[in-house]
């Protein structure tokens, strides 16, 4: 971000402002009109997928050499933020496409990148398969196994809570290749939905983000070629942690967008709603609530943009570690999203509790941002350990 002496404020460079304007127009015109129906009927946001694919905003992070736009991390979070502002479920299309390919981009061979990334740039989707029923926050306790068989690997096990799991073509899958080596015995693989022995299981019934299918994945003697391993054997857990350093800010951006959307609805409502002979906006307690909401959103945005910008450079400034910035920005923004959406419901009163207004949906969508890609408790543990290291 640059300092503008004419207006005495920090602002994004022009190219990012133009990007925001472009994706906001698409979101408002092609995604927002379907958001309530997507939530009500728990259906995948096909309209959003088509709009994002046709505009190239489905996976802006894919490098140009593989058919993508080669956008940096700051651009990616702006896209996710603007889509989430109107539909939390739809924002998971670009967010999870990045999550599902970031490990490959960071550690994969050029040959494997050339096999996978052009598909994603062309409109296929990717998912990230780390979590298991007995290995959530304790990811190192995973049981899914991969055993070498000639030139191939054979995977057995299952994964759960996989975002967009029933819609993806490619999956980054973590599996144990050396059960005696602890976290150093985990390796990362790219699995295709057509690989023999792979299948998608049941979908979860969720509180929010109902338009994004959350699935179980099963690997039953799932055979994949040997060149589908990401990086070296035993480096999967390291790849997983590196991925989260780059993608936790994207979940923060989703939370930020949801909060911004709820704030705008609340502002519009209190200007129109009249009580005791004047607009609700005229009351001091309303103004104080809006001021608090605005301050929280602005602070979260600065944290998210700072973390994303530093993730792109691969280092954090002032000696801080990248993981600390990523975890902190995600935890703060998601906590703010819950606070802001609850305040928005309160400002709308009884109407805020109905489906006639989107703030109740936004509150339900916001909740998951405190849980996935590392619960906020885990994020605080990450921060605490790095502060004390």
- What are 172's strand-pairing partners? 128, 190
How far is CA 51 from its chain centroid? 18
Return the closest-CA partner of residue 239 out of 104, 109, 76, 110: 104
CA 331 to CA 6: how far, in whole Å?
34
Active-site residue identified among 81, 132, 360, 373: 373
Place of tokens 């936004």: 362
Exposure string (b/e) for 127-138, b if CB count within 10 Å is 16 or more? bbbbbbeebbee
Place of tokens 């605490």: 384
Q: Is 373 a catalytic residue?
A: yes
- Is 286 within 8 Å of 292 (Cβ atoms)? no
DSSP line for 189-212: EEEETTSTTEEEEEEPP-SS-TTS
DSSP 374: S
DSSP line for 129-161: E--BTTBSS-GGG---EEEEETTEEEEEEEEEE
- Is 59 within 8 Å of 121 (Cβ atoms)? yes
- Is 80 within 8 Å of 91 (Cβ atoms)? yes
Length of the chain: 389
Q: What is the 3-state secondary structure (H, E, C) of 300-325?
A: HHHHHHHHHHHHHHCCCHHHCCHHHH
Return the closest-CA partner of residue 52 out of 17, 75, 88, 26: 26
Count other Cβ atoms within 10 Å, centred on residue 60.
Answer: 25
Q: Report the catalytic residues.
A: 373
């Amino acid at each position: 971000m640059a300092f503008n002496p004419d207006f005495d404020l920090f602002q994004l460079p022009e190219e990012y402002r133009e990007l925001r304007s472009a994706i906001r127009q698409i979101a408002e015109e092609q995604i927002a009109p379907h958001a309530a129906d997507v939530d009500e009927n728990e259906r995948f946001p096909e309209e959003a997928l088509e709009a994002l694919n046709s505009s190239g905003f489905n996976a802006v992070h894919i490098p140009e050499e593989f058919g993508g736009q080669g956008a940096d991390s700051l651009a990616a979070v702006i896209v996710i933020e603007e889509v989430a502002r109107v539909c939390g479920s739809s924002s998971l299309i670009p967010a999870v496409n990045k999550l599902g390919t970031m490990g490959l981009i960071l550690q994969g061979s050029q040959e494997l990148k050339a096999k996978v990334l052009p598909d994603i740039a062309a409109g296929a989707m990717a998912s990230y398969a780390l979590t298991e029923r007995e290995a959530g926050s304790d990811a190192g306790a995973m049981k899914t196994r991969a055993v070498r068989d000639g030139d191939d690997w054979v995977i057995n096990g299952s994964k759960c809570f996989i975002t967009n799991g029933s819609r993806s073509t490619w999956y980054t899958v973590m599996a144990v290749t050396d059960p005696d080596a602890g976290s150093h015995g985990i390796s990362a693989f790219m699995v295709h939905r057509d690989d023999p022995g792979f299948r998608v299981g049941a979908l979860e019934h969720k509180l929010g983000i109902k338009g994004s299918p959350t699935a179980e994945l099963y690997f039953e003697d799932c055979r994949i070629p040997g060149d589908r391993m990401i990086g070296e054997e035993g480096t999967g857990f390291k790849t997983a942690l590196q991925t989260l350093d780059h993608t936790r800010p994207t979940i923060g951006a989703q939370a930020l967008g949801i909060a911004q959307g709820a704030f705008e609805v609340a502002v519009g409502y209190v200007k129109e709603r009249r009580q005791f002979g004047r607009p609700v906006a005229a009351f001091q307690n309303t103004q104080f609530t809006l001021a608090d909401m605005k301050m929280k959103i602005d602070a979260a945005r600065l944290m998210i943009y700072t973390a994303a910008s530093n993730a792109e450079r691969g280092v954090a400034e002032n000696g801080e570690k990248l993981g600390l910035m990523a975890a902190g920005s995600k935890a703060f923004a998601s906590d703010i999203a819950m606070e802001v959406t609850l305040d928005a419901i309160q400002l709308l009163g009884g109407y805020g509790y109905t489906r006639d207004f989107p703030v109740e949906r936004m509150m339900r969508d916001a909740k998951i941002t405190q849980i996935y890609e590392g619960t906020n408790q885990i994020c605080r543990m990450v921060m605490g350990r790095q502060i004390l290291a």
